[in-house]
Chain A
Amino acid sequence: MAKELVKMKDIVKTYGKVEALKGVDFNVGEEEIVGLVGDNGAGKSTLIEILSGAQRPTSGKIWFEGEEVEFSSTKDGINAGIETVYQDAALVGQLSVARNLFLGREPLNQSSFLPSLDEEYMNKQAVRLLQQVGLTSIDPTARVDNLSGGQRQSIAIARGIFFEAKLIILDEPTNNLGVEESRNVLEFVAEMKQQGHSSIFITHNIRHIYKVADRIVVLRDGEKVGDLTKEDTTMEEIEEMITGLEVMG
């Protein structure tokens, strides 16, 4: 197996009396695409929010690149090299493509009278990135609101590549996308791996991830019920694990 990038051990998260995660172990290797699947409420979102720093675990330990980490905010996660792309919340619609790209780490132009955002640099870099990911028709100063869902997802993912994130977490990236657009996003994820990035692909629809994932982890009711490399399993087996029921058929 490839070298380990993420190791989460015995992660527990409780909200009052509700146990969202009941001691989950979760690993991601380097240059690995892990599909994280499970029904609504299985604990997928909680797990990745803990990994990205958006939430703190009730108990459990996390290692990133071999070092134990305790993220207290998403900022810590980002600084360590973890980018999260949330479904429907990847980009800010009212801002331009370029401003979205640099959101949270805007470059400043120090040479002006008052330090101000370096729009020229942001736009130039945005053009470069858009060319790199094959979205040449997009104007970097265009408002994100005016782009299609697939274009938005691609830009959000590309942002992780641009800032050389080691791990890109994708939360239901193909939801609300058409067939063609979904395929583009999946191709993009595969390409990302070629460039040395690991990713976690969260979905409740196994069909969306089966083609590109190296390994699939199944959560049900806050517990890990499956952790299988793709060669060792079938789509049907995973569907059974997700629901806990045998698939009729």
Chain B
Amino acid sequence: MKNKVIEKLAAHRELGPLLLLIILGLVFYSLSPAFLSVLNITNMIEFIPEIGIIALGMTLLLTGGEFDLSVGALFGFTPVLMFILKNEGFMGIEMAFFVVIAIAALIGFTNGILVTKIGISSFLVTIGMQLVVRGTGLYISEGFPQSSWQAKTPLKSALAYSIDFPGSYFKIIVSLFWFIGMAALAYYVLNKTRFGNWIKATGGNEKAARARGINTDSVKIILFMTTAVLAGFAGIIDAFRIGSAYPVSGTGYELEVIAMTVIGGTSLFGGRGTVIGTILGVLLLRTIRNGIVVVGVPGLAYNIFVGIAILSMMGVHAYLEKQSGGGS
């Protein structure tokens, strides 16, 4: 009986974070009913799509056996460049959007080439790229926020339109639908397509994948590009939502996103990834961040709780792995 439960938990790694999310939600609610107030829920879901979209890219990349520490820098840099291109009169905002997304893709491509063709570890490549991208953003903006660009355009509405509910604090930013759509797409790609199978094979056993004729370098390059584009896209949503682009925004997101992904059950060593787990990981860390503030723990203590959550989830995953792997 007990083994059955463990087996089930091991096969569905998402159950652990789901359980923890429910428990924490109840704890926070019992400590402060304001946790589940309309205003607080609105606050929580406002930011989830942005960090969540980066996490989707990271999930696929980690499953493919690599990771990217430049996503936070791209999150800041992409919208800064977009607003500069527009504000300096080089082009319209729509054109600027496509140009900076293409540049993000190029940065991802460069990461991919350096990792696969030159053979430098993704840790070194993307930490270097992080400095280059962040530094460029600071340099071209002279460190100043690219100020708001308030006019309503179709692009802004498509990414960050706020759906208000009259007579209530509740609102939904349309980016939530982008996140849901992209999550569904990521789930489909990872679990139902050939490419998804190749991602898992590349991350799980690269040599075996190659022997089967899979071009593992291409798989990784595509994943690096996807991750970079999604990070840039998320940064643009953020900039439209708050009305300006800060060259330092997104600092530290890379580790937060990796933590969310790994808590959800995706392996840091490749071969195993779960999109549903990542969504739960995002919700979990956001809930902790929000919940401890609502219940009155000083915000500065946030990292303690995040650290504990990561360590305990890692412990659970490792335990389940051992139980299920050694069993038969």
Chain A residues close to B by CB (< 8 Å): 52, 54, 73-75, 77-79, 84-86, 89-95, 99, 103-104, 106, 108, 114-117, 145-146
Which residues on A sit within 8 Å (CB–CB) of B250? Answer: none
Q: A74-B211, A95-B200, A117-B192 are in contact. List 18 more A-B contacts (CB 8 A).
A: A54-B210, A73-B215, A74-B210, A75-B213, A75-B215, A84-B211, A91-B208, A92-B204, A92-B208, A92-B209, A94-B267, A95-B197, A95-B201, A103-B208, A103-B209, A104-B212, A106-B194, A146-B327
Give the shortest distance, in Å, between B318 (CB) and chain A (any CB).
15
The answer to whether residues A86 and B211 also contact, given A93-B204, A117-B194 and a CB cut-off of 8 A, is: yes
Residue of B at shortest CB range from A102?
B197
Assembled-state Cα–Cα distance A94/B204 (Å): 6
Give the shortest distance, in Å, between B53 (CB) and chain A (any CB).
21
Chain B residues close to A by CB (< 8 Å): 188, 192-194, 196-198, 200-201, 203-205, 207-215, 267, 271-272, 324-325, 327-328
Assembled-state Cα–Cα distance A108/B328 (Å): 31
Which residues on B sit within 8 Å (CB–CB) of A85? Answer: 211
Which residues on A sit within 8 Å (CB–CB) of B196? Answer: 117
Which of B188, B203, B208 is the one whose CB lies under 8 Å from A89? B208
Give the shortest distance, in Å, between B122 (CB) and chain A (any CB).
19
Assembled-state Cα–Cα distance A74/B217 (Å): 13
User: DSSP class of B's interface residues: helix, strand, loop or mixed?
Assistant: helix
Residue of B at shortest CB range from A91?
B208
Which of A91, A108, A114 is the one whose CB lies under 8 Å from B205? A91
Assembled-state Cα–Cα distance A90/B267 (Å): 21
Q: Are A114's CB and B188's CB within 8 A?
A: yes
Q: Are A86's CB and B201's CB within 8 A?
A: no
Which residues on A sit within 8 Å (CB–CB) of B215? Answer: 73, 75
Assembled-state Cα–Cα distance A94/B214 (Å): 16
Identify the interface centre among B208, B325, B328: most chain A CB within 10 Å of its CB.
B208
Total number of residue pairs linking A and B with CB closer than 8 Å:
82
Assembled-state Cα–Cα distance A4/B132 (Å): 57
Residue of B at shortest CB range from A119?
B192
Assembled-state Cα–Cα distance A84/B210 (Å): 10
Which of B213, B267, B324, B327 is the one whose CB lies under 8 Å from A78? B213
Which of B193, B211, B271, B328 is the one whose CB lies under 8 Å from A94? B271
Q: Are A93's CB and B328's CB within 8 A?
A: no
Q: Are A104's CB and B205's CB within 8 A?
A: no
Assembled-state Cα–Cα distance A79/B197 (Å): 20
Assembled-state Cα–Cα distance A78/B212 (Å): 7
Assembled-state Cα–Cα distance A54/B213 (Å): 9
Assembled-state Cα–Cα distance A225/B208 (Å): 30
Give the shortest distance, in Å, between B25 (CB) and chain A (any CB).
31
Which residues on A sit within 8 Å (CB–CB) of B193? Answer: 115-117
Which of A86, A108, A146 is the one whose CB lies under 8 Å from B207? A86
Residue of B at shortest CB range from A54?
B210
Which residues on B sit within 8 Å (CB–CB) of A99? Answer: 197
Assembled-state Cα–Cα distance A243/B134 (Å): 57
Q: Are B192's CB and A114's CB within 8 A?
A: yes
- By Cβ-Cβ distance, the 9 closest A-B pairs, closest first, are A104-B212, A75-B213, A94-B271, A116-B192, A89-B207, A94-B204, A92-B204, A92-B205, A89-B208
Assembled-state Cα–Cα distance A175/B327 (Å): 24
Which residues on B sit within 8 Å (CB–CB) of A77? Answer: 213
Assembled-state Cα–Cα distance A92/B271 (Å): 8
Give the shortest distance, in Å, between A55 (CB) and chain B (any CB).
11
Which residues on A sit within 8 Å (CB–CB) of B209? Answer: 92, 103-104
Give the shortest distance, in Å, between A193 (CB) and chain B (any CB).
22
Which residues on A sit within 8 Å (CB–CB) of B325? Answer: 145-146
Give the shortest distance, in Å, between B39 (CB) and chain A (any CB).
39
Which residues on A sit within 8 Å (CB–CB) of B198? Answer: 103-104
Assembled-state Cα–Cα distance A54/B215 (Å): 11
Residue of B at shortest CB range from A148?
B328
Q: Are A74's CB and B213's CB within 8 A?
A: yes
Which of A89, A94, A116 is the one whose CB lies under 8 Å from B272? A94
Give the shortest distance, in Å, between B320 (CB) and chain A (any CB).
13
Could you give 15 example pairs across A and B, Cβ below 8 Å? A52-B211, A74-B212, A74-B213, A79-B213, A84-B211, A89-B205, A89-B208, A90-B208, A92-B271, A93-B205, A94-B200, A95-B204, A116-B193, A117-B192, A117-B194
Which residues on A sit within 8 Å (CB–CB) of B267? Answer: 94
Q: Are B188's CB and A104's CB within 8 A?
A: no
Residue of B at shortest CB range from A159?
B212
Give the shortest distance, in Å, between B291 (CB) and chain A (any CB).
34
Assembled-state Cα–Cα distance A95/B191 (Å): 11
Which residues on A sit within 8 Å (CB–CB) of B205? Answer: 89, 91-94
Give the shortest distance, in Å, between B210 (CB) and chain A (any CB).
6
Which of A93, A103, A114 is the one whose CB lies under 8 Å from B271? A93
Assembled-state Cα–Cα distance A81/B40 (Å): 61
Assembled-state Cα–Cα distance A106/B198 (Å): 10
Assembled-state Cα–Cα distance A108/B197 (Å): 12
Give the shortest distance, in Å, between B239 (CB) and chain A (any CB).
32
